[in-house]
Structure 1
């Protein structure tokens, strides 16, 4: 997970020309099939105030849609998410005992640097430590979870009485991490710390967020290729678990939504929309027409 977790922790109708202040961000696709239309927009789960308002083409697409599909609805999941994380993230003596001895001092140094207790590894699983450090890494660069793009879209949809559905559940997202072996979790954490120490993690965060902010297709495609070719265990595991294994089921649900409803919008994490095993490619494999608009 290393840099991927840090990067990842992280629809349009062009009926009118957008005004000069509107800025294209992320990646936008038009999906057609079953005589229906869906606009597919790539989000990041953290943000900056200057990311808003979104490009008018995106807000027009939302306003014209009967349903907004998100990974989960962040405006309604806070209580559920907190309870689920507390339950699932609690570690066990066996996992604690499996921590490589050489990792301990470096992990303690990182935790103390962010104001977290050195005893945290005895309370939560390694994957939760990675998520905690990922949030801090984003925060150091000024990115705020409360300004996540998916949360912004969910609030807009609820305000317009547009139905919001989740393509996944809190439990299924936590299972992505929780079903990893203890050894793999510690390896992922170890490589995360290495990337933080080298500055690589911050470079990757900036590459993703800057690419999203500029809708820079070439930069985003290059970033996806870099991750796909990274041979470190953490990257290979999380490429498969975080993206590939989720993209197929996500595409199945989007195809079902496209079949049922005439005009819809879906907004998922940007990394799901780029790379060889992306959601758009999964939809193309189903015979749907998928056009990248930007």
Structure 2
């Protein structure tokens, strides 16, 4: 199962977990995220470097910005660097893959996906999923109302806490909170329903196969090294490493895995590009934030935006 799919499902589900407040601490639990202290806020606000990937998009006589994010992070990463702060200061509109502040989005994510047949888990998969809930220090019933693949992704994301990272420190949540404080409009470049169609197979047998693969990766501790490398590449603005993701992610073992990765990443990029172009065309300065892997590949977003008439300049 592609690691990006794991992260994206986890990011979509994170707000539901935060609302439910079901994560609890125990001696064998991964460390929980800690809010920065007042002195940390002052220090990190003043010294944060630019991370990730920021582009200026110029068309129709004005600029917008495209920012490549990572869906989990460290506490210090929620403080924007100088160039991102400048873009945020100019922005009049925020666009994210999904607007997780929208109640309709949260409702869709919390319900069984309309496009997929109900998934009746085989006993061994149910036992293994329950074991992962306990390992993540979640009550077994906490996520029982959501699809098993979404449950698995949340368990996988919480495992990154052992490495000092947490989806609560993802860039989308930081930007969403900032936009809310400034009263800026927030738009989703995709709908929750369309994203679920990509994340969750409609065929129950295929969904169980994906679940089995994901559980095996988690049980064998294959996810954490990949998440660490992905996050490090983002923090160092290392686009070359991200562009070679397929070669080191340990997630492309057979042709179907590669097809899944293409569907998850490349095939969504034209719709994301069209959404960015439409919002930019309204005349406001747009800050659009998407997962950084959307900036790579034959259908990389900067390339597609150039095809739509934008002058695209990478800022850092």
Q: TM-score range by the shorter chain?
A: 0.7 to 0.9
Question: Pairwise mapping of residues 1-294 of structure 1 onto structure 2 (< 5 A)?
Answer: 1-8=1-8, 9=10, 21-74=47-100, 76-77=101-102, 79-88=103-112, 95-96=119-120, 99=122, 103=125, 106-115=128-137, 124-223=146-245, 226=248, 230-232=252-254, 235-261=257-283, 263-294=285-316
Q: Contact (CA 8 Å) 1:5, 1:130: kept in 2 or not?
A: no
RMSD: 3.3
Tell me how far apart the structure 1 counterparts of residues 224 and 86 of structure 2 sit (CA, whole Å). Answer: 34
Tell me how far apart the structure 1 counterparts of residues 93 and 145 of structure 2 sit (CA, whole Å). Answer: 40
Greater mean deviation of Cα atoms: 58-67 or 43-52: 43-52
Q: Contact (CA 8 Å) 1:157, 1:163: kept in 2 or not?
A: yes
Cα offset, 1:107, TM superposition: 4.3
Cα offset, 1:122, TM superposition: 8.2
State the aligned residue count.
282
Cα offset, 1:26, TM superposition: 0.8
CA distance 1:89–1:254, shift in 2 (3 Å)? closer
SS of the residue corresponding to residue 298 of structure 2 reads coil
Q: Contact (CA 8 Å) 2:156, 2:218: kept in 1 or not?
A: no
Tell me how far apart the structure 1 counterparts of residues 283 and 208 of structure 2 sit (CA, whole Å). Answer: 44
Cα offset, 1:25, TM superposition: 0.6
- Structure 2 length normalisation: TM-score? 0.75
1:77-128 per-residue CA deviation (whole Å, 9 max, x = no partner) reads 3x444432332259x996316x4x7656544543443356778998653322
SS of the residue corresponding to residue 289 of structure 2 reads strand
Tell me how far apart the structure 2 counterparts of residues 234 and 138 of structure 1 sit (CA, whole Å). Answer: 26
Structure 1, unaligned runs of 5 or more: 11-18
Q: Contact (CA 8 Å) 1:45, 1:150: kept in 2 or not?
A: yes
Tell me how far apart the structure 2 counterparts of residues 118 and 254 of structure 1 sit (CA, whole Å). Answer: 40
Tell me how far apart the structure 2 counterparts of residues 261 and 136 of structure 1 sit (CA, whole Å). Answer: 40
Q: Contact (CA 8 Å) 2:7, 2:71: kept in 1 or not?
A: no
CA distance 1:167–1:289, shift in 2 (3 Å)? same
Tell me how far apart the structure 1 counterparts of residues 228 and 235 of structure 2 sit (CA, whole Å). Answer: 10
CA distance 1:93–1:186, shift in 2 (3 Å)? same
CA distance 1:240–1:182, shift in 2 (3 Å)? farther
